Structure 1
Amino acid sequence: MAGAKPLALPTVASTKLSSTNGELLSDPSTYRHIIGALQYCTITRPDISYVVNQLCQYMHQPRTPHWQAMKRVLRYLKGSVNHGLFYTPSPLQLHTYCDSDWAGNPDDRRSTSGYGVFLGRNLVSWSSKKQHVVSRSSTEAEYRSMTLATAEVYWL
C-alpha cells in the first residue's frame, strides 16, 4: 500500500457491506490482522471508528468487498497522516452529539449508533456500535443512540 493513491474519505456513504456479496477470501488471517491494527488506530483516530466497526463485523468470513473497503481505509490513513486528536485550552463545557443509521445493516437490519463527547473543543469520548435489537423506526433507533450517549455523559 506504500505506492497507493491517498483518499479524502475512509468510506463511500452509499456502500453497504453484506455477509453474502463477493467471494470469500482464501486467507482471512491477513484481513483479521489489519483490522486488529485499525482497531488500535481508532484510539487516536475516531474518524475511522464507524468504518472499522463495520469491517469488524465480517472478521469471521471476510469477502472481497470487505477487503476493498479495508484497503480504502488504509489509503485514507495514508492521505491523512497529520490528522488526529489534538487538545487545546477551551472552556469546560460538555457537548454531546449522537446519531444512528436506522436498519443500516442489510443482513440483520440492526442499526448502528455513534456518539462523540466534547469537553470544550476537545473530543474526550466516542463510540460506534451496532445496536443489540432491531428498531422498528428511525425514531426508535435515534432514542437508543441518545440513551447510549446519555449513559456515557453520566459516567463522565
Structure 2
Amino acid sequence: MSIQSTLARAAADLHQGRVDLARRRLHGLLSGHPTDLAVRRALAEAYRHDPQPSEVGRWNYLDDSLTTTELAAYERRFRDPARRLANLRWPDPVHNPPASRTARRRLAALHRAATGTAPVWPAHRRDATARPPAPLDPQAPPKRSWPDPPEHLWAWRLGLLAALAALVWLHLR
C-alpha cells in the first residue's frame, strides 16, 4: 500500500471517528517511513482528536504548524533533550537531515541540546548551526498576568468602594 493511500485511509478513519485505527495505521506507516514529514503531520492530527498536546507536539515537532502550547506540553513531558531526541524516532539525526528548513533547524537545535554537537549535514551546513525558528500560534491570545474578573465582581467592587467612601466620610465628620 502506498503512503498516499494509507494517509487517505487514516484520514477517512479519523473522519468516521475511528481514531485508534487511524493511529495504528499511521504508526505502522511511520515505522516504514520515519523521515516522511507528511506522515508525522497526519499522526499529530490524529492525536489532536483526543486531545493529547504532548503527543501532538512530539509528532508535530518538526513541522511549521507546531504551536507553543504543543511544544510546551512535549517539553514538559520529556524534560531531557536526549530523551526528546530519542522519542522523535528520527533515524540517524547526525547524518540524515529532514526535508524542510524548519525541520532541519529544530532537529539540529535539539541534537545540539542533547549531545552538545551539531549534526553533520554537508548540504545544509547553515541549518545545522542555526537557531531554530520559534513556533507561532496565531490563535493564541496575548499573554496576560491575570485573567479577567467575572462580571459579578464589578458590582461587588463598586459596593466596597462606596462603603469605604462612607467610612472615610464618617471618620472626617
Name the structure with the higher strand share.
Answer: 1
Structure of higher CA gyration radius = 2
Task: Provide TM-score, normalisation by structure 1.
Answer: 0.29
Task: Provide TM-score, normalisation by structure 2.
Answer: 0.27
The structure, 1 or 2, with the larger RCO (C-alpha pairs under 8 Å, 6+ apart) is: 1
